[in-house]
A and B are shown apart, each in its own frame.
Chain A
Amino acid sequence: MSYLKIRTIIIRTGYCLIACMALGHTSCKKDFLEVENTGQLYRQNYVKDLTTMEHFLNGIYILINGIYEHGYTASYPDLVADNLKPASATSSQLLLPHYAWSQQAEDLLEFIPSSLSMSMNSSWTNGYQIIRACSFVIEDIEKYRSENSSKADNIKGQAYAIRAMVHIKLVNIFAQSYKFTDDASHPGIPYINTSDISKPYSRQTVSKVYDNIIADLDDAIQLLPSEVTDTRYMNSAAAKAFLARTYLFKGDYTNAKSLAAEICLRFPLLKITGGYPSALFRNRLPSQTEVMYRLVPINISGNLSNFLGRFFVSPLNYMPTNDIVTLLTENRDDVRKFWVTNGNVTKFPTGAAPEVSPQPLSPASAYYPSMIRSSEMFLTVSECAAKLGDEVTARSFLDSVRQRANPSVGKLSATGAALLDSIYKERRKELCFEGIRMFDLQRMKMSVQRGVDAVFPNAISLPFYSKMAVAPIPVWDVKLAGLSQNPGY
């Protein structure tokens, strides 16, 4: 009997223990619901110090090199203006509606435009993705500043500058130029400076957008080290150059000129002996190039560089207009005449990035496109000086660019409007196919003239103040975020 009792007690105790263990195992510990997912990386748990923040910044460069600066969109400013034309008028051709100034507002969601695209929605989404990522860096880096303050400054500065650079492009694609209204009070784009996608946003005036761009670039210049060591990353010189471009577009010639002149001193023009022009698009040390910031061809996990060069080889998408061919080849001593060959664009070298592994699928994408370079700064100084009445400086900076490309040409003596025309012409020649033409025309309040070269008879000229000079705002931003649509769409 007592044995049985003892046995019962043992069983009872044992069972209680098991029960307690079961309870303990699944007890109400709060951290039971904190599950770390090891199968996938997440921003929230990956970025936790300066090193990982730098990894995230590297990721932003991948987005820029892989998706954002895509040949389709890089062609846009030259295609909708007068430097490029579609190789054929068949419906499989890319950006035909854009070329024909007949874009349509779309609800299409795509990261890369297809032949069906009627709008620039992909540039919008891709651009804002980078902007949001930069905003995250700017917001979060302060947490890790204590680790290494100067490194934090550098990372943050790059993020500011990239965020501004992307906004510059978007405001030019989706909004009329700064001078469209006297005080630039017309609708621009949302200037996004938060990574929180749940916050509402709206279109700011172009004036406000420019203020924000300038503020971001000023911050970047403050934070970035003055020494430039690798032009594959955003740096202080590039930030200043973008700021100079911004001031120029805004019509603030004084600021534009002084900033541009500073860059011209630090990054002299690349001479023919130094490899000009094809070395512009190769990876060189900062001391051996005039490029302040360049892209890198990549072939990384779904992010594949498809730079503009690829669209000039088989299958041929774009061709130079007769206009630009004439301009580039008008002087047989001008080395830039090789930028077009047999009616094709050959400005960008192929296979010019042998150090990259794995190589982009097309060798025609294997080069380092320039995002901003000294030639533009020289021409900016020249243009600003001319506008400000200092024609000597204007001619001198213009001649540097002219004579660099064609040592046989003499000094220019033009003045007044003729001088400005020469500057504009040189700017068109030097920067052709580099994604700025339409924006120049717009800021100069000039019409687009294609003449008999036009592929479509109804797309021969686009007067200034045309509604169709800017792309429609994506339909979902109009419908869901309440943005105003551009007139005409």
Chain B
Amino acid sequence: MQKYQSTDLCNLLPYAPNKRSILQLKKLTRIFKLTTLIVTFLCLQASAATYSQLVTISANKTPFKKVTDAIEQQTDVKFIWHDELLELSKPVTLELNKVPLEEALLTLFKGQVLSYVIKDQYVIVRTLQPLVVQPASWGDPGNVKGRVTNEKGEPLSGISVSVKGSRKMVVTNDKGEFEIDGVEGNATLVISGVSHEQQEVKWKSGEGVTVVLKDRVNELDETVVVAYGTTTQRANTGAVTVVKGEQIQNLPNRSFDRSLQGLVPGLLVTSGSGQPGGGLSNFVLRGIATGGQPISGETYRNPLIVVDGVPVTQDPLEVSGSSSGPSASNPIAQLNPSDIESISILKDAAAISLYGSKASNGVILVTTKKGKAGRTMFNFRHQTDVSERLKEIEVLNKDQYLELVYEAYRNSIPGIKDSQIKSDLISKFPYQVSLPGDTSFYPASDWSSKLYNNAAVTVVNEISMSGGNEKSNFYINLEWIKQDGVVKKTGFDRKSIRFNYENRPASFLKVGLNTTLSYNIQNYSSGAEAGGVLSLSPLNSIRDANGKFIYNYGWGFGSSGNGLRANPLAEVELNINRNTSYRGLSRIYGEMIFLKHFTFTSTIGVDFIANEAKQKVDPLLVISAETVSGIGKITDVMVRNANIISNNILRFNRAFNKSHSVNLLVGQEAQILTRKHNLIERRGLSSNPTSTQVLAGTTSLGGDDKQTLLSYFGQANYDFRNKYLLSGNIRSDGSSVFGDNKRFGTYWSVGGGWVVSEEPFMKRLNKKWVDQLKFRGSIGTAGSSAAILNTIQFDALTLVSYLNNVAVFPDRGKPGNPDIQWERTFTWDAGIEVSLFNERLRIIADVYNRKTSNLIASGVTLPGATGFFSITDNIGDLRNKGIELSLSVEIVRIRNFSWKVNANWSKNENTLTKSFFPERRVGNAVNKVGYAYNSFYLKRWAGVNSTNGAPMWMDSTGKPSEDYNASKPDITGKIQPDGFGAITNTFSYKGFELSAMLYYQYGFQILYVGNILQNDGGNPYVNQSKAAFDRWQKPGDIASNPRRLLNGLPPGSAIRDRGTESSTRYLYDGDFIRLSNVSLSYNFPKSIFSRMRLMSLELYIQGQNLMTWTKYSGQDPENMNVFGVGNFLYPQQRSFTIGLKVGF
């Protein structure tokens, strides 16, 4: 709506007498100088609303235009109309003497075929009868000329006009005019525009056509991008959710995947870490449907993302990912979300099966912006976000910490003296000697303020230019983002450019280009979160008495006693962890129309990423997981990823005698996916080279992967009077990943829809309040091969030299598996779409059942006499069934005010239905038939024995036992939530819009690795959470934590207490509700920005992640990895945003 208003004004201005507007501009400039923008706007708003001027006119058969000119001179109003309307006006005869303006206008328009509306200080003139005016002068047979206007009579540019049943299509120029050659008599023209309702008009040979389009109030006819084409919400037979670019543009996320949280029923998005530009731990549509275990940041479970027809890489750019959380880098963050026009999330078989073997996790289609015919538009956007860390777990202060440490010593070594304890601590921790013999520890350091930045600023600036004419259109956007992370010296910077261009060199031909390039620098942190800064002993001072860093700590940080750990602040200052990425995503396409009903499209697309990952460990600091400092290390990893896609599609569209409409599609597609990486490492830095220094290291790791895919597909859609919809898809995919005999997989789907509201009986009954009632259903299959590499069918060899000869020996862990099969997902989906009361209430509900067979998993145990440990193989079947509900209701819709509520709820139940293994364990999770894939498999914690303080677990008879081994693990929870969704309230008043989104997620558990912060003395020197203070001290104590023992050892015993081992002690419900976004925006009224020669002006503020309600006591319920482990990850943030959008 708002967009449209700005466009139409642009078209109007040249027609309006503009002397006054210049004057007004001058006035406005003065006001600008006097007061702030907001105040200005408020004043003007008030004055505009209260004009009441008197008119005195005497006219006798005076031309209409002269009278309106006179009114303009006497008052502040301005008439807006189109020249053609002038021809319709009749001369005026009237006598007015100091008549109020409203009355004057009433008199003036009496007897005219024209009418008017008053908007602010404009009088917009339009025709009385909104439809067809037929100037007889237009048109030869076979050649349609026409004009499209809105209800105000303003010309509409960029409106597409097509001939029904053929592929002829043109776009209106900036005068709203169009012309189509070679049209048969009695053809039906379909006129549609993005912000207007579609309309069909009969054309009679030899006549011109004028079409008046209504502004779109109706979402049902909006274009929906689907697999290899478009449709409308009304005609779609698949389960598809559309998110518009403007819904996510302002969110303080650098990648659009993150921004989809809560917007799409069925799509679970969990950010994992808060690393700017980082990956997600969950991006799962309708439940896990693949066997692949993403143990180091892999993206097997993610839906396929296709941007402008090119499937994009989501796999992390590091060579070896992180197992504690999502990967540091996320290739999706290299694409500017502002360039997105719309995102379609395809969910059921009817929607996805045309993507075949890569679609079983769902498909996300992203369409980028396009220029519109008409004036060249510029849009500038600025946004500043200020972020702070979300809450942190409270840890003990120095006194409490020492109390626990001393207690552990005393419990384990009865009779130990305090002086002995102190001297032991002195031997482990840094200390200062103020006087000889007077040693003391340093005062506790304030890590929090040193390591974190609680007002991390992100600045976003972008400027776009777009426009076009009937022959071509373009969109160019330049973007510059600088984001500082809440961990110091981390952040994400992106500079991107997008250029989309389309040209019609001939009426039957269209060629176009979508391309984006981006340059990204990501600084991530390795030390600040991974080591659990919270666990740092308060005795470990950041700096020594001379103010120099204490570079490494021997004790009291991470796992003590295993050598040194680097000072995390020194790591932040001295080490480098940087990804520099270059991304290019381009598509070039051509489309040719021939033989009336046929269209042939050919596309070539490339997704290219080059990433340089640089890591440096300063020689002063110890290398993580090693024991001595003074070595230093520089690692340089180069990853190059290039995917090429080419497809050729032939379409046939035809309508037969009004009732039947058929469109057919056949296509062929080929893809080449390549990835190459080299890791160069240099160790033993004698000096401290700068990171940019060229490395003379050894290539210690490298790889070169190539995969090819060849596909054939077809689709048939049939539509009978917009009532009965049928669609069928089939796709055959061949992949080089698979062995000769399993190379091709074929996928299909059938979908149908019944638009009940189009039935005559319904129309008669309910026309007034039912906009649409549609039932739809689909069944079909899709596949997945993402979890396998091209090399799966082969046995890898290592090449070495042996006794001066060449030797190759089989890789011990990886036997080939030429018999592996595609993962195959069979889905049925039934949906209902209801739209009532003039679109005020919309309900979409879906139930589905997806069965994935032949789950592919790596690390499948083999019996030893095979000579291998494990293989990648098909392991069983999995079922996801669920319900999705989305509701949109406009509770209040009055003149200037509306209150709209959007709510959605998704529930999914994931069950392993078949497995060749009784219990496949993956860390703390298990895959067992009858339970969710990756369920928690833990021993049950039975609390603390109040007589001796020993930890207890439930043994197999259900009694508490101190023997850890007597307890059997059990399924104790699940990682993926039962349900999730969001409720968004949106209030609009005039140009103001206030919206608030609550996101919720429930029915899942988190295994908190806080055991380091609650370790009962097993790791005695690290700091503890406040919760650890409640511990058993003497017989009879009822405490939540067991006795504290030094290194877990009871006095005189060599058998440790095992309280910190995996059990339900650290398992928490993860349920949470989050006030995830509140935003307030103000669209300045036209009256203001038009005087500033602007096309639009919007100011907004927002808060993100404002409140979270949860029982989980870890860092944040989203700080978890794919296996449900709540790790010490990069903190999540709360952020506040102020932004400005200007169109000119």
Interface residues of A (CB under 8 A from B): 8, 11-12, 15, 18-19, 22-23, 25-26, 28, 32-35, 37-47, 52, 54-56, 58-63, 67, 107, 109, 111, 121, 124-125, 128-133, 189-190, 192, 197-198, 201, 232, 296, 298, 300-303, 474, 476-477, 479-481, 483
Contacts and interface: CB of A to CB of B under 8 A. Distances in A.
A34 B736 contact: yes
A161 to B, nearest CB: 18
Nearest to B670: A26
Contact of A40 (B602, B647, B703, B801): B703
A42 B816 contact: yes
A300 B801 CA distance: 8
A37 B790 contact: yes
A47 B810 CA distance: 12
Contacts of B646: 22, 25-26
Contacts of B703: 39-40
**Which of B703, B710, B795, B869 has the most chain A CB atoms closer than 10 A to its own CB?**
B795
B505 A39 contact: no
Tell me the interface secondary structure of chain B in the complex: strand
A33 B735 contact: yes
Contact of A44 (B590, B668, B794): B794
Interface in B847-869: 861-869
Nearest to A301: B800
A54 B807 CA distance: 8
B708 interface: yes
Contacts of A197: 815, 862, 866-868, 871
Contacts of B86: none
Contacts of A302: 798
A62 B867 contact: no
B798 A46 contact: no
Nearest to A53: B808
A33 B790 CA distance: 10
Given A46-B808, A197-B815, A41 B796 contact: yes
Interface of B: 505-506, 508-509, 590, 592, 600, 602, 604, 646-648, 668-670, 676, 702-710, 712, 734-736, 743, 790-791, 793-803, 805-810, 812, 815-816, 819, 861-871, 917-918
Given A19-B600, A477-B863, A109 B870 contact: yes
A25 B866 CA distance: 42
29 contacts: A8-B506, A12-B509, A19-B590, A22-B646, A28-B710, A32-B710, A34-B736, A38-B704, A39-B676, A41-B798, A41-B808, A44-B795, A55-B806, A56-B809, A58-B803, A58-B808, A60-B809, A63-B809, A63-B810, A109-B861, A125-B868, A129-B867, A130-B867, A132-B866, A197-B815, A296-B803, A300-B801, A474-B863, A481-B865
A35 B790 contact: yes
Q: Is the interface of A mostly helix, strand, loop or mixed?
A: helix
B219 to A, nearest CB: 36
Given A43-B796, A483-B863, 13 more contacts: A22-B648, A26-B670, A42-B791, A43-B797, A44-B793, A59-B798, A67-B812, A109-B870, A125-B864, A132-B867, A197-B868, A301-B800, A479-B918
Contacts of A477: 863-865
A456 B703 CA distance: 51
Among A33, A189, A201, the most chain B Cβ lie within 10 Å of the Cβ of A33
A121 B864 contact: yes
B503 to A, nearest CB: 12
Contact of B798 (A8, A15, A301, A479): A301
A251 to B, nearest CB: 27
Contacts of A111: 812
A362 B379 CA distance: 70
Contacts of A35: 706-708, 736, 790
Contact of A33 (B734, B862, B866, B870): B734
Nearest to B802: A58
A38 B794 CA distance: 13
Contact of B708 (A18, A28, A32, A474): A32
Contacts of B870: 109
Q: Which of B505, B809, B866, B917 is most buried by chain A, counting CB atoms within 10 A of its CB?
A: B809
B505 A131 contact: no
Contact of A32 (B670, B799, B861): B670
B802 A61 contact: yes
Contacts of A33: 708-710, 734-736, 743
Nearest to B703: A39
Nearest to B809: A59
B692 to A, nearest CB: 28
B648 A19 contact: yes
A474 B734 contact: no
B509 A15 contact: yes
Contacts of A62: 800, 802, 807, 809
Contacts of B805: 54-55, 58
Contacts of A19: 590, 592, 600, 602, 648
B488 to A, nearest CB: 38
A371 to B, nearest CB: 16
B799 A128 contact: no
A45 B796 CA distance: 10
A451 B707 CA distance: 65
Contacts of A60: 809
Contacts of A129: 810, 812, 867-868
Contacts of B917: 480
Contact of B869 (A25, A38, A42, A109): A109
B331 to A, nearest CB: 21
Contacts of B868: 125, 129, 197
Nearest to B744: A33
